[in-house]
Chains A and B, each alone.
Chain A
Amino acid sequence: MSDLWRLTASETARGVRDRSLSAQDVTRAHLARIGSVEPAIDAFLQLLPERAMESARRVDDQVAAGHDPLPLAGVPVAIKDVLCMEGIPTTCGSRILEGYRPPFTATAVAALEAAGAVVVGKTNMDEFAMGSSTENGAYKKTRNPWDPGRVPGGSSGGSAAAVSAGMTPLALGTDTGGSIRQPAAFCGVVGLKPTYGRVSRYGLVAFASSLDQIGPLARTVEDVALAASVLCGADALDATSALQPVPDFVADLASGAKGLRVGVPWGFLEKGVDDDILARFRDALADIEALGARLVDVSLPHVHHAIATYYIVATAEASSNLARYDGVRYGFRASGARDLATMYGETRDRGFGAEVKRRIILGTFVLSSGYYDAYYLRAQKARTLIRRDFDRAFDSCDVVATPTAPSTAFRFGEKTGDPLQMYLADIFTVPANLAGIPGLSVPCGLAGGLPVGLQLLGRPFDEATLLRLGHAYERATPHHEAFPAL
């Protein structure tokens, strides 16, 4: 069998553009790889083999006709099923969107396809992106390619597992509290949550609108940089997309780590982090220092309030965003109800899973009369304090480094009975969403045979520095070369 599935996105695009590779051969190789490993992983909710071959043929034709640049020419990509594609079922991992075929395509997906990427399928996720393990999806559980008894992380667990298992070199995820970075860490791949507003969210099913961001997952920092260059930028269809200029992230990679100041918030890492995670983190810091970066101590005095703040802000926004699922305009409707109010209630009761209901209830509660000031308003103020912590930290450093998650991938069912324990798995990723800053997770070795992620956080709109440091670290270490035995 062809080994084309081992190529990175950058290698594939280069090959297709100089016609040493055909997009159709590349796509066929990935579909074959999916055929052999997907039964053991269950990363996809839906495969689109015919559409993918048709896209690949079009890319080959375009390249043959001299239509370039196509920076992602022939690169197979997996799309988290929270992003709409016209005419293709989009479920968000929820029963309530069963049968929904969106009449539009998300700008992020359209941008990838316009750049020559080939969409091969829609990936599994926690229902409405609410979860840290991909166990909350209504349709299936995705297994971690490194250990089938463990979760791939979440909520973009399908995308992370697909990339980790070599089913695609690139995938899109979304990150509201860590949903790109944490599964990237658990599955041993690279994941970028761009700055809030960096990537258009038109066509993204909303969870928490002040936190959600779309970003790429891949096996190398270079591939993530390549995809980010295509994805970032203002969009007239999303009023929250930022007008900031987008640099050539790939060209910037060469500048290396020398002279960068890397802040380490040791006070934040004192409690609740597994020893072997801390050991890998310290190794990574030593490697970064050896690359010519300088380590500095920074303090983030309010970040230990991040989980509490996040679960108030995010659920409040979710309770409002999910009010639209009422069985009237799209998706599932409970049949047989005699009046409208009963139909709403039964549709939502049967359409939503337990975690989504729990968060709707929590969010409705913190917004309700008598509790708004004590919870929601106070959380919004705590959010300001957390943002200021980062502003101050970035006075003395260019990047803040932490582990991506406090543990490696956990076992199925290990945290499902205790929502609070599941929420605490996001402790290191949530602050970036609250502050609106970018975050990158890169593999930094194994602990007990499972991947560990190093998280790099940056100033707003300074993804370039994160990618540059991540790339230099990756060049100097072998961690990204590790492949799960499948």
Chain B
Amino acid sequence: MPKVTVETVGRVAKLAHLSLTVEERATFARQLDEILAYAESIGSLDTEPVPPMSHAGMAERLREDAPRGGIPQKQVLASAPDPADRLFRVPRVIGG
């Protein structure tokens, strides 16, 4: 596997909506490289015939599609950093 570079961290940070400082990028690049080098051990496993496990064996369970009460709008908006009337207000979406 290729070494994790500062550029890789920058690209991934963008995907994750993090900007990160120059120092953070450098530190994370070094640490991620170390962690992933450690994780290389699972590359030695013969996993070809093994099914992936996404959760610990819960049976799929569906509930009735019946309406039920939600949380009152006022209560939900009470924790918003910038509520406006019945809405969440945010800075402009397009352009600077």
Chain A residues near B (Cβ < 8 Å): 99-104, 195-197, 209-210, 236, 239-240, 242-243, 302, 304-305, 307-309, 311-312, 319, 323, 326-333, 337-346, 348-349, 352, 354, 357-358, 360-362, 364-365, 368, 374-375, 377-385, 387, 419-420, 423, 435-437, 460
Contacts and interface: CB of A to CB of B under 8 A. Distances in A.
Given A365-B4, A419-B35, A460-B57, A339 B96 contact: yes
A387 B18 contact: no
A329 B39 contact: no
B53 A348 contact: no
Given A340-B91, A340-B92, A387-B53, A305 B45 contact: yes
B43 A381 contact: no
Contacts of B39: 308, 311-312, 375, 379
Given A312-B39, A374-B1, A379-B42, A357 B19 contact: no
Given A103-B75, A354-B24, A339 B55 contact: no
29 contacts: A99-B79, A103-B71, A104-B71, A197-B58, A209-B55, A210-B55, A240-B58, A243-B61, A311-B39, A319-B16, A323-B16, A327-B81, A328-B80, A340-B90, A340-B91, A346-B19, A348-B17, A358-B32, A361-B32, A364-B13, A365-B8, A377-B52, A378-B45, A380-B52, A383-B52, A384-B50, A419-B31, A423-B35, A436-B57
A374 B43 contact: yes
A357 B12 CA distance: 11
Residue among B15, B19, B28, B42 having the largest count of chain A Cβ atoms under 10 Å: B42
A330 B79 contact: yes
Interface of B: 1, 4, 8-9, 12-13, 15-20, 24, 28, 31-32, 34-36, 38-43, 45, 47, 50-58, 61, 63, 71-72, 75-76, 78-82, 88, 90-96
A326 B61 CA distance: 31
A381 B43 CA distance: 11
Contacts of B95: 339
Given A361-B12, A362-B32, 10 more contacts: A101-B78, A307-B38, A345-B17, A346-B19, A378-B43, A379-B42, A435-B56, A436-B56, A437-B56, A460-B57
A420 B18 CA distance: 22
A349 B50 CA distance: 39
Contacts of A381: 45, 47, 50-53
Contacts of A460: 56-57
A279 to B, nearest CB: 28
A312 B53 CA distance: 13
Nearest to A101: B79
Given A100-B79, A103-B76, A242 B58 contact: yes
B80 A383 contact: no
B79 A196 contact: no
A398 to B, nearest CB: 19
A20 B91 CA distance: 60
Residue of B4, B32, B39, B78 contacting most chain A CB atoms (<10 Å) = B39
Contacts of A387: 53, 56-57
The 5 closest A-B pairs by CB, nearest first: A436-B56, A380-B52, A381-B47, A333-B81, A196-B56
